[in-house]
Copies of this chain bind each other. A is one copy, B any other.
Amino acid sequence: MSESFVLQDKAQDSHGGIAGGIPAGCADCPLRGKGICAAVMDAKSGKQRRKSETTIRARHQIFRPGETPGRIAVIRSGWAARFTHVQDGRRQVLSILVPGDTAGAELVVFPSIRVPVQALTDVSYCSFDVAELKEIGVEDPSLVWAFLNICISGRKETEARLVDLGRRNAEQRLARLIAELHRRLRGRGLADETSMPFPLRQQAIADALGLTQVHVSRVMSSFRENNIVQVAGGRLSIMDMDALLDIAEIYRR
């Protein structure tokens, strides 16, 4: 259903305008021209500079609750998850972040982190200083619109997940998660037509879908037995896209 990432691919401005001002390391970045990066680099003032790229190991946290990092992260490679804990220690994953996604956008409004972000694989990300972004925003509202865009898209995505948890069974949830991830990765050139990188542990899937790891295993097994999807070597292959979308209740035009 919802597009998670509607950020319009802005006109390729690689050779025009502020070409000379492109921060080092962005030149070859596949995310250049999209999302926050596009908005920042389109900004009239040349103030903002990408902070140095940071790398963080799998299982470590990019943002910790209570922190006030003062910077927003754009994932450049690897997968991460935003999550919360409940009383008894179980987790709920709020969203899964793949390259091109933004973490910590709420810092524009709230100074401190309430939703920790954990790297699911080794992750490298670029940081943007919130204070600088705000300054730019004053002169150039298009940046703020870009934020609004990201925020509203993210909310749409969260709401889609809410419907899944409220009104769909485990098979549908899993089928939809897979289809959704595939669609997002495809849109960024990170997956081919029937397969994609898939570093998610079953526990992470369970935490995202409101299930237990054991049950995710069962549903996965049933998908495998029915030749619908298969996971091997860190990749997921969709063997029967029609069946998958059928279970997911996603209809192509």
Contacts and interface: CB of A to CB of B under 8 A. Distances in A.
Contacts of A165: 162, 165-166, 210
B106 A162 contact: no
Count of this chain's copies in the oligomeric assembly:
2
Contact of A155 (B91, B138, B154): B154
A209 B166 contact: yes
Interface string A211-247: 0000000000000000000000000000000000000
B158 A159 contact: yes
B90 A167 contact: yes
Contacts of A110: 6, 152
Contacts of A84: 159, 163
A116 B46 CA distance: 41
A168 interface: yes
Interface stretch (A22-30, A123-131, A140-148): A140-148
Nearest to A151: B151
Interface in A83-121: 84, 86-87, 90-92, 94, 105-106, 108-110, 114-115
Nearest to A207: B166
A137 B94 CA distance: 30
Contacts of A162: 92, 94, 158, 161-162, 165
A92 B163 contact: yes
Interface residues of A, number: 43
A150 to B, nearest CB: 10
A86 B151 contact: no
Interface of A: 2, 6, 84, 86-87, 90-92, 94, 105-106, 108-110, 114-115, 137-138, 141, 144-145, 147-149, 151-156, 158-159, 161-163, 165-168, 207, 209-210, 249
Given A106-B156, A138-B141, A151-B151, 7 more contacts: A84-B163, A86-B249, A94-B163, A109-B153, A141-B141, A165-B166, A166-B207
